[in-house]
Each structure stands twice: as structure tokens, then as C-alpha cells.
A and B are shown apart, each in its own frame.
Chain A
Amino acid sequence: MGMSITLDTAMRALMAQQMGVDNVSHNVANASTVGYSRQRLTMHAIPGSFVGDGIPRPGMGVEVVNIDRVRDLFIDYQMRQQFQSAGRYDAQAESLQRLELVLSEPGDGGLRGSLDGFFNSWRDLANAPESPSARTAVVQSGQTFALAANRVYTSMNVLRREADSRLQGAVAEINDLTTEIASLNQQIGKMVATGTPSPDLSDRRDVAIDRLATMLNISYVQQSDGTIDIAVGGHSLVTGHIAQTLVGVPNAANSNYIDIQFQADGLALNTSGGEVRGLIDQRDVDLPARIADLNSLVSAVLTDVNAAHNAGFGLDGVTGRDFFVGTDASDIAVDPLNIADINRVAASATAGGVPGDGSNASIISDLQYAQGLLGGTATYDDFYGNFVASVGVDSAEAQSRLQAQNLVVDQMKLVRDGTSGVNLDEEMVNLTRYQRAYEAASRLVRVADEMLDTLINRTAV
């Protein structure tokens, strides 16, 4: 009986070391696979059979009882908390940086340059009210200012529109991710039920959950059957093998931008973090507030200049005409009639003052110094300076938050990688270890063979 046990033990050892080599090979092959966790064999010694005759017997070798991945689930949890902040700041920082480009301040190409140029053109007109070229310059610089205001307004709305299309993309990506997680849940559940571990599928699911965490403020629970349930804002997103599909429904009351809802019950998606929150905040809160500020500035210029212009007289002696048409930054323009006939520009304060009186032009240029905004404390330039500075402050803050957040995420990645990543040197050492053990086990087979040879061929005659 003894010899066959020796051979069996040697065979189990060969198989176990073979699996060890295979495992090294799997780890090495996936050394640079995203989200891969190194896998580890758990080997147990098989105890000798207990017969009850009091005779001690050696153990029966080794068996591989498990292959599992080396993973710290708490680090995963912590990282996903950071991911959703990083995703939110990322959306915010990017939008604000692009807004800075739109404003193109400090520089001569921004709204400030055209606003100041507009008032200085009135000062030139006051110097030469009879001059057609000074009148043309006033009309043109008015048009330059109006176009600059239109451009900033349009570009800010383009930023909103882009946030919206990124949200539509996010909805599609979230649906892909939840579908993938649900289907992985199903496969993992089956394998757990049959007792076969599935570390590679778990890795794939973790990659998907990581990505989902940058988009939404998710919470998740690992169930005993191996599946993971995910919820967002108190609403289930994935339960077992069922994923809740999100849909973007255009909202007519909000420029046809989408509201994100759950398809099944029509409830609104509610997330306090992640890229989705950042994008919604930019689209519905931050940018609209800044557009409203721009509009108050441009409307004030438009109304004040028109009121003063109405009181003046054109070269043709006619009074009571507007300079600008429109209501705010979206549609301000110089009245086309004034472009067609520059004599309508009201430089004179009295009918009798035509053509040499430029005092109404001076009244208009003095509007630049009137503190009519922010409750009578700010000039147009003050207001605009505050407007630009607040974009700068918020952008700088979002960038530094994002940077700090990324630093934290990078550090945590290192910690996670320290636990789960493949180290090739370590794998080489393991390979050598399994190889030597394999050699020793095959040597056992030969020794057992020689012993059987001795027993069978040399003793029995």
C-alpha cells in the first residue's frame, strides 16, 4: 500500500506545482492589464489518514484549495469616494477654464476693450461733432461692443449646450456600465454557486464600478451570493443581474436640455457627486448665473445709452431716437437706421446746437463713470471687473481642488497597486520556487519507481 501512496503524493505535488507555474504565467501575462489583481494559490497539506491503530502516518501531500485575488476592498471603497469628488471638480474646472478662454481677459480682444473703446469713440465725437468719420466711428465701435457681447453670450450658451451633450454621453456610458455590472453579477453569482472562484470577473466588475463612481455618487453592497448591488441617491441602479436604465428626457422649460430619469419608474436621477453632478451644476446653476450677470451689464449699457441718446439731437435736428436696439447681451445691436444714416447719431444737446455742439456725446461718454450698478456702487467697468475676477477665483479654486483630489487619488492608487499589482521580480522568484518544487516532485516519482523496481524485480523469485 505504501508505494502507491508515495506515487499519488508525488503526482499531487506535480499537479500543484504545475498550477503554481500556470498561476505565475497568468499573473505575468496580466502584469499590465488595467484593473487586474494578482492571484494567489492557496495550498493545503493533506493530513495522513487516521485509521485508529495508533501507528503514525505521514501526510498525503498537497492540494490547491483556492485561487483568489489579492484585493483590499476597503481601499476600493475609499477610492470610489474620492473618484466622485474628482469627477465633479473635473467637470467644473474644465467648464470654467473654457469660460476663461471665452472671456479672453486680460487683453484687448475682450468685452472690456470694446466697452471702453465705445465710450472713447463718443469722446472723439464730442471733439468733432460735425465730422462724418467720428460719427461712423461711434456707430462702428457700438457695433463692435454689441457683437462682443453677443459673442460672449453665445459662447457661454455653447458651454451649456456642451455640458448637456456630455450629460447625454454620460447617460449612455452609465447604461453600458450598469448593464455590464449586472451581467458580470449574473456570471459571478453562478460561479459562486458552483464553488468555482472568479477573480478575473471580479476584477472586470471592479473596473466598471470605479468608472461608475467617477460619474455618480454611488453606494454599493456586496451580497453573500457574490453579486454587488448599486444604488444612487436612494434609488437602485443595479440589483443582482438587473440594471436600471437611465434616460435623458428633453425639458422644454430648460432650453430642451435633458433631465435624467430612470426609465422604469420615471423618477429623477439624484446624485450629489460625480461628473454628472458637476455637469448639471455648470449647465443649470453656474453658467446661467454668469449669463444673468452679463445680461445685467449689457442691458444697463443699452438702456442708459438709449435714454441719453433719446434726449439728444442728430445732425438732422431730430430728437427722441434710440442708439441701440435689443434687450440684453443676446440681441443687442446698433439700430440699423443709425448705421444707414450716421446723421441720426445725437451728438448735440439742443436742436439749435447742431452741428457744432458735442455736449450730448459728452453726456453719453460720462455714463462710463456713472455708478449705476450693484445698488449704485459700481460703474460698468467695475461690474465687469468683478464678473471676470469671480470667474478667475472660481476657476482657480476648481483647478486647485481638482489637483488636490487627483493627488489623493494617485496616492490611493499606489496603495491599491501595492496590494494588488503584479511585481515581475516576485513572480520570477515564485516561478523559480515552483520549478524547483516540480523538479523535486518528479525526482520523487523516479525514487518511487526505483524502489518498486527493487521490490518487484530483485526480491521476488
Chain B
Amino acid sequence: MRISTVGMTERLLVQLQQAQLRLAREQEQVGTGKKLNRPSDDAFGTARLLETQTRTENNMQYQRNIAVAKTDLTASESAMASLHDVLARAAELATQAASDNLSASDRANIGLEVGQLLQEAISLGNTKYAGRYIFSGHQTNTPAFSPDVAANPTAVTYNGDTGTIDREIAQGERVRVNITGDTVWPGVFTTLIQFRDDLMSNNFPGVQNATAAIATQIEGELNLRSEIGAKTRRVEMSEVRLQDEAAMLNIVQSGIQDVDLADAIVQLQIQETAYQAALGVAGRTLNVSLLDFLR
């Protein structure tokens, strides 16, 4: 077959360009660490990658939601735990006050302490966390409870509503994280007010009933706390599941787009060698001509 002189150099040039193109492709992969840099590199992989990215971002969002849910539940739990301490102390005082050999002034003194416990219970009911009154239902900017007389309340009004606050802890899965003030709280307040008034007026039968009344309130408060505990465990399980999923998504994502570096570097070296060989061939053949031999 015949070949022209220019055709030979052009052919060499095409070969050099192709070798260079292959080299550049390998360099891009090693440089970016990615084999998928644009949709046409792998269209199906791109669609899967987009889906994985969405799932990863939502997974991170749900992990954030879970963090919020956990602090919400913790805030309720710790307020309820403090309420428990208040009620436990009231129960102790009820046992003391039920003793026969106490004078009226002794009971009045206990009544003063119960008055303090009532104030503490009201302030626990008005717990504010992250700028929100947590027992007010949806009325998160309004203190949940207000006493009729600040110094010596005879009645406590609930200012909130029955609104539920949910956290989305996974796609389509929601957990209620708030306890509204209309649950155990009114009972606690009336029980404490009644107990205090009975102590002050030295109403012995009333004082004797206090122990049982307080026990009922403690039972209601414990029920709510065990519910919070169960929810916390559910949220934590969901968190573990999300962390597992995040790790799995990471592996999938890496499988779709990341380059096997060892393999890519070997490929890069092969292409480099090929390019050098092409350069060598060009360097030799371009210099040879019959003109060198005709004298």
C-alpha cells in the first residue's frame, strides 16, 4: 500500500492524540478520584447516585431530627423527674403530718414547706427549653401555668392546649415528643393546694387522706415517664438504623463513583508508557527520508 509523506505524519499525529486522550482520561480519574464525573460517563450510575445522594441527605436530616427529638424527650423527662422529687418529698411530709403527736403549729410549719413545693411544681410546669414552654402544647410562647395568687395560689390555670408535637425520625415515621399540661399537672396542683390548706387549718382527716392522694399523682407521673423512656428507646433504635443506613449508602455511593486507585494508577502508567512509545516512534520516523541518503 502507498502512503504519502504528509499522511504518515498525520497518522502519527492521530496516534499521538489518541494516546494523549487516553492518558488524560486516566489522569482525570486519578486526579479527581472519581470515575463518574458527568452523566455520560455512566448514565444509569448517575441516576442511582442521585438517588443515593437524596437518601443520604434525608438520612442526615432524620439524624438531626432524632437529635432534636432526644433533647425534647430529655427536657420533658428531667422536668418530670424533678416533679417526682417534689411529690416524693410531699409524700414524706404527708407521713410526718399524719402522726398524732404533732401540734397545730407543727402542721402549719409543714404547710409552709408544702407551699414551697407547690411553687416549685408550678415553676417545673413552666419549664422552658430552647425558647419553648414545653408543657403548653402548641402554645409554646405562653407559660403553661399561672397561679391566681402568686404568693399563695389557691388555683392554677392551664394556658396551653392539647396540641401534639411530633418529630419525623424516619421516612413516614413520627414520634410524639411533648406532654401537654392537661395531663398530671392539674391533679398535682390541686392535691398540693388541698394538702397545704389542710395542714394550715389543721384538718386532721384531710391530712390523713393526703398520702393516698399524693401516691395517685406519683403513679400518674411515673406512667408518663415510662412512656417517655419507651419513646427514647424507640428513637435511639431508629438512630442506630439510620447510622447503619448511612454507612451502607456511603459504600454504595463510593462503589458507583469512586475509582479503584490502585487499578487507576496501573492504568495511568500503562497509558504513560504507550504515550512515550508513540512519541519515540514519531521521533524516529519523522527524521527519516530518502533525501538523507541521496548525495
Interface residue ranges, A against B (CB under 8 Å) = 31-32, 38, 96-97, 100-101, 103, 105-106, 112-113, 116-117, 120, 123-124, 126-128, 130-131, 348, 352-359, 362, 365-366, 368-369, 381-382, 384-386, 388-393, 395-396, 399, 410, 413-414, 417-425, 428-429, 432
Q: Which residues of A contact B136 (CB under 8 A)?
A: 356
Interface stretch, picked from B106-114, B164-172, B230-238, B242-250, is B164-172
* Inter-chain contact B167/A127, CB cutoff 8 Å: yes
Binary contact readout B125-163 vs A (1 if CB under 8 angstroms, 0 otherwise): 000001110001111110000000000000000000101
4 nearest A-B residue pairs (beta carbon): A421-B4, A392-B39, A392-B43, A356-B140
Interface size class of B (residues with CB under 8 A): 35 or more
Q: Which of A38, A399, A425 has the most CB of B within 10 A?
A: A425
Partner of A425, one of B5, B61, B137: B5
> Given A388-B39, A419-B2, are A116 and B58 also a contact pair (CB < 8 Å)?
yes
Nearest CB of chain A from residue B24's CB, rounded to whole Å? 15
Please measure, in the bound complex, the distance between the C-alpha atom of A359 and the C-alpha atom of B168, giving whole angstroms: 10
Q: Are B140 and A389 in contact (CB under 8 A)?
A: no
Query: Is A352's CB under 8 angstroms from B138's CB?
Result: yes
Interface residues of B in 246-295 (CB under 8 A from A): 257, 289-291, 294
B50 touches A384 (CB 8 A): yes
Distance in angstroms from B166 CB to nearest chain A CB is 7
The reply to whether B4 and A105 contact each other, CB–CB distance below 8 Å, is no
CB within 8 A of B54: which of A32, A112, A393, A428? A112
Question: With A and B bound together, what is the CA distance between A421 and B68 in angstroms?
Answer: 77
B39 touches A391 (CB 8 A): yes
Q: Which residues in B have their C-beta under 8 angstroms from that of A386? A: 47
Q: Mark B1-34, 1 if CB is under 8 A from A, else 0.
A: 1111111001100100000000000000000000
Contact A424 B290 (CB under 8 A): yes
Instruction: Give the contacting residue for B5; candidates A100, A105, A413, A423; CB below 8 A.
Output: A423
Would B290 and A418 count as touching, CB distance under 8 A?
Answer: no
Nearest CB on B from A380, distance (A): 10
Residues of A within 8 A of B44 (CB): 389
Least Cβ distance of B62 to chain A in Å?
Answer: 8
Per-residue CB proximity of B41-55 to A under 8 Å, as 1/0? 111101101110110
A126 with B40, Cβ < 8 A, contacts A116-B58, A381-B54, A417-B3 known: no
Which residues 54-77 of B sit at the A interface, judged by CB distance below 8 A?
A: 54, 57-58, 61, 64-65, 68
Contact of A418 among B2, B36, B131, B137 (CB under 8 A): B2
The reply to whether B5 and A31 form a contact with Cβ atoms under 8 Å apart is yes
A sample of 13 cross-chain residue pairs with beta-carbon separation below 8 angstroms, ordered by A number, consists of A96-B40, A106-B36, A130-B140, A385-B50, A389-B47, A392-B40, A392-B41, A417-B3, A417-B4, A422-B4, A423-B3, A425-B5, A428-B290
CB distance from A76 to the nearest CB of B (A): 16
